[in-house]
Amino acid sequence: AAEQFCAWLSLKLGIAVRLPTEHEWIHIAQGGSLDEPVLDSVAWYEANSQHSTHPVAQKQPNGFGLYDVLGNAAEWVITDTRRPFAMGGGYRDDAEQTTTTSSQKQVSAWNQSDPQIPKSQWWLADCSWVGFRFVIDATDEHMNTLKELRDE
């Protein structure tokens, strides 16, 4: 579903929109530093989340100014094998699962309560802790267009 959203947005904007690769996501999550951040300052995870997601930007941004890259909701990435992985951990994960390199593979339990037969590959009814952010492959001209759209 995340990939289909990116395909739709690509058509809508006329530029390439996609999920980040695993390596791109790790780079984004590191925020320009090779050190793991102090988790409580940047992430909602099992120890501090009260078992729920939280509004964006309630914690400090990383070195690139991005909020909630770690914790809150894990994020889908594209891997070399084309298998979906969720990176960074979510609100229900412990500190060891909420790092710049931690990943989770989709399992059938994420969709156990789906009433459809056969079960949907995309719905993931029992997976409230995974979301996504996307990457825009754009030229300077595309970026100017996006800035104009944002300002409207």
Contacts of 1 by beta carbon, 8 Å cutoff, 6+ apart:
122, 123
pTM: 0.79
**Separation CA 106–CA 100 (nearest Å):** 18
* Main-chain dihedrals φ then ψ at residue 137, nearest 5 degrees: -90, 100
Residue 17, pLDDT score? 93
Residue 23's pLDDT is what? 93
pLDDT of residue 115: 64
Q: What pLDDT, on the 0 to 100 scale, is given for residue 120?
A: 61
pLDDT by residue for the chain (152 residues), tens digit each? 788 899 999 999 888 999 999 999 999 999 999 888 899 999 999 999 999 999 999 999 999 999 999 999 999 898 888 777 889 999 989 999 999 998 877 666 555 665 666 766 555 555 556 788 999 887 777 677 777 877 87
